Every structure is written in structure tokens, then in C-alpha cells.
Structure 1
Amino acid sequence: MKKLKNYSKKLTFLMVLFSLTFVVQSCKQNEKQKEEIIIEKEKPEYFSLRPEVEKAYGYSHAVKIGNDIKISGAVSMDDEGNPTAIGDFAQQMRNCYADLDAILKHYGCTFDDVVVENIFTTNMQLFLENAEYRNYIYKKQFPTGSWLGVNELALPSFMIEIELEVYKPE
């Protein structure tokens, strides 16, 4: 009888051990599935506003990863990549924001979703004289960011370039 009790205890112990192993493996598999889902959600989604121009210069205008969207600097250009509004700072600025608006709309966003705005300009004085236009763009709040005076942009005719970072909760 004593041997039977020892055998029964050993069998019970093995069953508990087996059950725990099964539970741990099941949890690990669930965690692995969650990781795969998270990785799938964070796969970069690229967007080209002017595919031929972007390919020629070697960049993508925007990339979305998860809830974050990074938008390359917008400049005042036509669909062939030629500068527009040459010498007209205010119009170049409006053209930049028009392109940025088109990209935001592609992702179902507005300027209310912008969290960072960096402005690069070859003429800080002209930018400051026209900065008030941003009140028409940002109606709720202004994003963080920097205003940088630079010697030149990609082409000599460009006077301003604006890049954005966006956070869009799902």
C-alpha cells in the first residue's frame, strides 16, 4: 500500500508538472502572437506626393510607422520638380502648406495632429514677416519645432522648407 501511495504522489506530481509546462508554453505562444501583431502594425507605410521627382532625388515624402508619421520638408515646386513662386516668399510658404495638407489628408490627418514642425528658411526676416499665416494653419494649438535660418536649400530658388511629424491615435 505504501508503494501505491508513493506511486500516486509521483503521478500527481508529474501531472501538475505537465499542466504547468502546458500553461507556460501556452502563455509563451500567446506572447509570440502578440509580438507578431505588433510588428505587423509597425511596418512602415511610405507615401509619395510626386513619385517621379522623389525617385529622381532619392527620398519618400512621408512614412507612417504605427501612429507616427514623418513628413519630409515641403518646398514650393510643381509636379515636375520645378520651383514655383520664385521670389515670392508668402506664396512659397502657402504652397508648402498646401502640399503638407495633401499628405496629411492621405493619412486621414489634419494640422491638429501635427506635433513637430521644423521650418528652414534662407531669409528669416521674411519668414517672421509672414509667420502670422501659421494662425490659419494651426487653429487649435501650435506644434513644437524649430525655425532655422540656412544658407541654402536644395535649389537656389527655394526660400522656405517645412517638415512635419504627426501623431495620429487610432
Structure 2
Amino acid sequence: MMRQLISSGALWEPIVGYSRAVRVGNVVEVAGTTAQDGDVVTGGADIYAQAKRVLEKIGEALKAAGATFEDVVRTRIFVTDIAQWEAVGRAHGEVFGEIRPVTSMVEVRALIDPRLLVEIEATAIIST
């Protein structure tokens, strides 16, 4: 079965040994994605703006793998402050409101950069 690797171009991908997304057959897994773009955190300290950027980046990875948001069956959301769940949930709902994949949202102590407030993963199954 073909294995397609999708890179985000992040400097640490080859160091850590990961891809932004991997497609095997009709399954696409998108790795934990943040609002970090180079040295900049898009959205600054606004968790909603960060979540919007994260979802844009997930959409780009899905497209590169031949999938769309409509193919997403599961998302996992990691936040550094669960009290801000509504803002992240609003951003998620703007993309997935009609699609309604299963999802989890959990609070984590920290992400790789202290400026990052949210990280999201996605699993898509492309209809054949």
C-alpha cells in the first residue's frame, strides 16, 4: 500500500523524524498542529485566533493528501487552559459544525513553545 508523507517544512521535522500528515490507502492522519509559523505564533495570545490558524493548516495538509474536512472522522484538541474551551470549540465548530467528527479536548500542562495555547490532530478517511 502506498505511503504518502506530507511535510509542513518545519525545521524540526527531520530532526524529530515526523511528518505533518501521512496517508496510507484511504486513511490520513494529521499530526498535532499548532499556530506556529516559523518563529511567529499566528494569533498571538488569542486562543480562538490560534485555533483558526491551526484548522487552516490542517485543511492544507488534508488537501495535500487528497482529503477534505468532510473526510475527517476524529479530532483531538489539546489546550493549555481548559477554561478557554468555548473559544476553541467555536473555531472547531465553524469548520466541523455540520461534519461533526468525534472529538476530545483535554488540558495539557504545556506545549512545545509556551506561546502556544492549542494543538489539534485529525484523522480522515477518504470515501472510495
Greater helix share, structure number? 1
8 Å Cα contact 1:85/1:92 also seen in 2:
yes
TM-score of the superposition, structure 1-length normalised? Answer: 0.69
SS in 2 for 1:52: coil
Higher RCO (Cα < 8 Å, 6 or more apart): 2
What is the distance in 2 between the residues matched to 1:132 and 1:83? 20
Conserved? CA contact 1:122–1:149, under 8 Å: yes
Q: 1:129 & 1:109 partners in 2: Cα distance?
A: 26
Structure 1 residues 59 and 81, CA gap change in structure 2 (3 angstroms): farther
Number of equivalences? 128
- In 2, Cα distance between the equivalents of 1:70 and 1:164? 6
Pair 1:114–1:81, CA change in 2 (3 A): farther
Give the Cα separation in 2 of the matches to 1:139 and 1:130. 13
Q: Which of residues 48, 51, 60 in structure 1 aligns to 2:19?
A: 60
Larger-Rg structure: 1
| Contact 2:28–2:62 (CA under 8 A) maintained in structure 1 | no
1:31-82 CA-partner distances (Å, limit 9, x unpaired): xxxxxxxxxxx2321110225342244321111111111110110111x254
How has the CA–CA distance of structure 1 residues 85 and 139 changed in structure 2, closer, same or farther, with 3 Å as cutoff? closer
Which piece of structure 1 moves more, 159-168 or 51-60? 51-60
One-letter amino acid of the structure 2 residue matched with residue 71 of structure 1: V
Question: Could you tell me which residue of structure 2 aligns to residue 77 of structure 1?
Answer: 36
Of 54, 75, 85, 1:127 maps to 85
TM-score scaled by structure 2?
Answer: 0.89
Could you tell me how far apart the structure 1 residues matched to 2:3 and 2:39 are? 25
Unaligned runs of 5+ in 1: 1-41
* Mean CA deviation greater in 52-61 or 156-165: 52-61
Identity of aligned residues (%): 26
